[in-house]
Amino acid sequence: MSGPVSPLAPKSFVDMPPVRGVRMATAAAGIKYKGRTDVLMMVFDAPATVAGVFTRSKCPSAPVDFCRDNLGGGKARAVVVNSGNANAFTGKKGRESTAMTAVAAAKAAGCSEGEVFLASTGVIGEPLDATKFSGVLDGLATSANEDFWLEAAKAIMTTDTYPKVATRTARIGDVEVRINGMAKGAGMIAPDMATMLSFVVTDADIPATTLQALLSEGVEPTFNAVTVDSDTSTSDTLLLFATGAAAADGQKPVSSPSDPALAAFRTALNNLLKDLALQVVRDGEGARKMVAITVEGAENDGAAKKIALSVANSPLVKTAVAGEDANWGRVVMAVGKSGEMADRDRLAIWFGDVRVAVDGERDPGYSEEAASAVMKEEDIAIRVEIGLGSGKATVWTCDLTKAYVEINGDYRS
């Protein structure tokens, strides 16, 4: 919605086949944007099991509170998402707004309000006028259809420059199941939560508690390993639904998250979550380059991730990437400030395949030309070897450009 499409966008969108048991429709309710859809309704033919992870912000939005309350029930029949207004920090009005939307959605879908899930994204602090879209939910529930994933992903965009979708299949026993997902970014993206909004649906038959375990585990190296600007949103919501339609094909019930029958599903799910998370980074506000930061040899995996995030969130590293400057000294700085154990004289750093530093100083064979060539690429890998242990982590970020400053200098107007 904000100017030209990110140069890092996928060259074409994947075909998104339906997932049995879920239908979708969108509407243009004029919440903030003109001439585009801004409300999405998902309807499940039968109650789906549901799992969710949410922002760890101490100031979560009203819909996040609402979803947390309903998650205990473990059943979903309808999801309503709006863009243009986050319904965050809206106090009593915000709760009234979620309540009104839930009543309208429950009536439209023929379910209880406890089976409704809500998400809102956009400006923080403006009261959300739910009357703008509560009236259209009846129509959306009626017109919803299975073959609508890409359109659905468009309705939840804010500063995103392209819709984010992904699809996978996996076998549970002899039965093939499908997993579809959509996500939106593109600012206020930082880990330690389920970044921004993402909705994933499978036709597998999986109980809510198992679904939750799979999701909580899958989110750590994917959505929780990406950062655009280190700013954790008030609204981050990732919901995973299982419609259970595959039971009709003979999919046998699964007993627990460790059920061996779930191995392929787990892999496919994690793969899809990573796909969506990286699409979010590739559409980071103002992004021109994608950076993968791998830290190895840290004290433990947690330390490795903290160091990697320190590099990924450093404005000086990110502006150097934007300027195609092989300024590895700033990587040293970011390792040093992370607070994790590091021994300067054991550090080694690579840009792409070019080792730029080793044993605490510039690589004896350092070539500015070779390092600079890496920085001109669209996708840049930075690797840091700490030399202390076996802890390892990868996080993904984008560069910090003038366009980021411009996009965020006057977002509200």
User: Which residues does the annotation mark as catalytic?
Assistant: 195
Site for a second copy in 235-294 (CB under 8 A): none
Residue 385 among known ligand-binding residues: no
Does the footprint of a second copy cover residue 376 (CB under 8 A)? Answer: no
Does the footprint of a second copy cover residue 405 (CB under 8 A)? Answer: yes
Candidate residues 7, 17, 110, 360; the one interacting with a second copy per rule CB under 8 A: 360
Instruction: Kindly give, in sequence order, each residue whose CB lies less than 8 Å from that of residue 176, ignoring residues fewer than 6 positions away.
Output: 169, 170, 246, 249
Task: Say what the alpha-carbon torsion angle 92, 140, 113, 205 is, to the nearest 10 degrees.
Answer: -130
Contact 194, 54 (CB under 8 A): yes
Does the footprint of a second copy cover residue 188 (CB under 8 A)? Answer: yes
CB under 8 A: which stretch of 43-51, 104-112, 225-233, 250-258 binds a second copy? 225-233
Site for a second copy in 293-332 (CB under 8 A): 313-316, 319-320, 322-325, 327-330, 332
174 to 19, 158, 204, 270, 405: CA distances (angstroms): 18, 40, 12, 20, 51
CB under 8 A: which stretch of 37-45, 52-60, 138-146, 247-255 binds a second copy? 52-60
Does the footprint of a second copy cover residue 361 (CB under 8 A)? Answer: yes
Q: Please, which residue, 205 or 340, has the CB nearer to a second copy?
A: 340
Site for a second copy in 76-95 (CB under 8 A): 86, 88-94
Cis-peptide, bond into residue 308, ω within 30° of zero: no
Distance CA 319, CA 196 (A): 24
Does the footprint of a second copy cover residue 67 (CB under 8 A)? Answer: no
Candidate residues 7, 127, 139, 253; the one interacting with a second copy per rule CB under 8 A: 127
Candidate residues 26, 37, 49, 55; the one interacting with a second copy per rule CB under 8 A: 55
- 221 φψ region: left (φ > 0), alpha (ψ -120 to 50), beta (else): alpha
Contact 278, 230 (CB under 8 A): no
The distance of closest approach from Cβ of residue 58 to a second copy in the complex, given in angstroms and rounded to an integer, is 4
Contact 51, 208 (CB under 8 A): yes
CB under 8 A: which stretch of 101-109, 182-190, 198-206, 261-269 binds a second copy? 182-190
Contact 260, 366 (CB under 8 A): no
